[in-house]
Amino acid sequence: MENFEHCIPTEVYFGKGQISHLAEILNRYGKRVLLTYGGGSIKRMGLYDEIMKILNDNGFAVTELAGIEPNPRIETVEKGAKLCRDNNIDVILAAGGGSTIDCSKAIAVGAFYEGDMWEMVETAKPGRKALPLVDILTLSATGSEFDGGAVISNMKLHKKLGGSYTFPAVSITDPTYTFSVPPFQTAAGSADIMSHIMEGYFARTMDSDLSEAIAEGVLKSVIRNLPVVLKEPDNYDARANLMWDSSIACSGIPEYGKESTGWPCHALEHELSAYYDITHGAGLAILTPRWMTFILKKDPSVTPRFAKFARNVWGLEGEDEAELAQKGIQALYDFFVSVKLPMTLSELNITDEYFPEMAESANRNNRLANSYVPLTKEDAIEIYRMCL
């Protein structure tokens, strides 16, 4: 087992009705609140009215930032940081999915950052001064509610950069707020959860037992609960399982004690989103089985890891590990098909036009060379081609 450090300073209020703690939580930080949200889903489901009633009844002064985009943009970070400064904001309250929370993390740091906001994104690092952030999660996917990272896009430059900003001080994660998530976003979010696990699971270290069990447990939970919520969107227990899966999957916990893996599928996917503004989880669902097929062929020494995936996650059996490895990849592919995720880039109108540029950028600072099975720029292009 490798060394690791555990530090997740976020308090989680999980479950039905936990919004009842909102006023008491915000009062810890002050009365001037910046409420941030996306394109209107919180209004349609009644959460906006619920929040505003609590804020008004408890004497908070509210400034609003609406319209945070999926794949949040640098321009919106600039707008939010200015609102914080102009209104002397004490605390940010983000209500939405990963995009709203990510944008709010960057705003929390941007409120104090002296200098250009894109430069802040390019140089993002932990420990910068930030406003306190409280969030109310409405989509199980990114894990932004339980980590310090955020991903910000600059569409003019075709850049989508992940980095460390600040942990939410408190996350309210009530599964009932995810009842309204449409089937496609539910499936894409679940693919993102699975990817966060698989990025760390496929590692050289085989003896970090608890991490392995947590990773396999999260995958099995998603495989069991996603089909349930697609049939019954308001099934509380199934939504609840997906929500906690989301928080744990990207927290780092399932990788404790393991060698780092470079998260190559995320590096490849962020380029797809940067060029084509696609849904992150959908891009990952397309890329992951192809990446698996590619690395298994490139380096057959990883076969035992794939056989373990087939056995422990998909319940497959067999003596021939090479065959089992292929069957595990096929099971993952078939699962994504069964939940109606697009499985080719062509379905998203993506051609090979920018593959060289995307591969170059995914491999900046030679980072793909440090992944589980080291990849070159040419390998990345080949994986993109396999996805067409």
Q: Which residues bind ligand NZQ (CB under 6 A)?
A: 38-41, 45, 70-71, 96-100, 102, 138-139, 141-144, 147, 149-151, 177-178, 180-181, 185, 189, 192, 250, 266, 280-281
Out of Zn ion, ligand NZQ, none, what residue 264 binds, judged by CB under 5 to 8 A for its kind, is: none
**CB of residue 264 to ligand NZQ, shortest distance in Å:** 13
Residue placing its CB nearer to Zn ion in the complex, 109 or 287: 287
Element (H, E) at 159: strand 159-164
Residue placing its CB nearer to ligand NZQ in the complex, 138 or 211: 138
* Helix/strand/coil percentages in the chain, nearest 5: 55, 10, 30
**CB of residue 20 to Zn ion, shortest distance in Å:** 31
Quickly count: other Cβ atoms within 10 Å of residue 244's Cβ.
18
Residue placing its CB nearer to ligand NZQ in the complex, 70 or 328: 70
Query: What length does the chain have?
Result: 388
- In whole angstroms, give the CA distance from residue 33 to residue 280: 29
Residue placing its CB nearer to Zn ion in the complex, 192 or 212: 192
Please, where are the H alpha helices in 232-279? 236-249, 264-276
Alpha-carbon distances, residue 124 vs 90, 127, 190, 255 (angstroms): 22, 10, 27, 22
Out of Zn ion, ligand NZQ, none, what residue 150 binds, judged by CB under 5 to 8 A for its kind, is: ligand NZQ
Please, where are the H alpha helices in 251-354? 264-276, 280-298, 303-314, 321-338
Task: Report 185-204 residues binding Zn ion (CB under 5 A).
Answer: 192
Out of Zn ion, ligand NZQ, none, what residue 342 binds, judged by CB under 5 to 8 A for its kind, is: none
Residue placing its CB nearer to ligand NZQ in the complex, 22 or 296: 22
Out of ligand NZQ, Zn ion, none, what residue 135 binds, judged by CB under 5 to 8 A for its kind, is: none
Residue placing its CB nearer to ligand NZQ in the complex, 100 or 326: 100
Closest-approach residue to Zn ion (CB): 192
Out of ligand NZQ, Zn ion, none, what residue 104 binds, judged by CB under 5 to 8 A for its kind, is: none
Out of ligand NZQ, Zn ion, none, what residue 149 binds, judged by CB under 5 to 8 A for its kind, is: ligand NZQ
The gap from C-alpha 65 to its chain's centroid, in whole angstroms, comes to 22
Quickly count: other Cβ atoms within 10 Å of residue 143's Cβ.
22
- In whole angstroms, give the CA distance from residue 233 to residue 257: 36
3-class SS at 3?
coil
* Interface residue list for Zn ion (CB under 5 A): 192
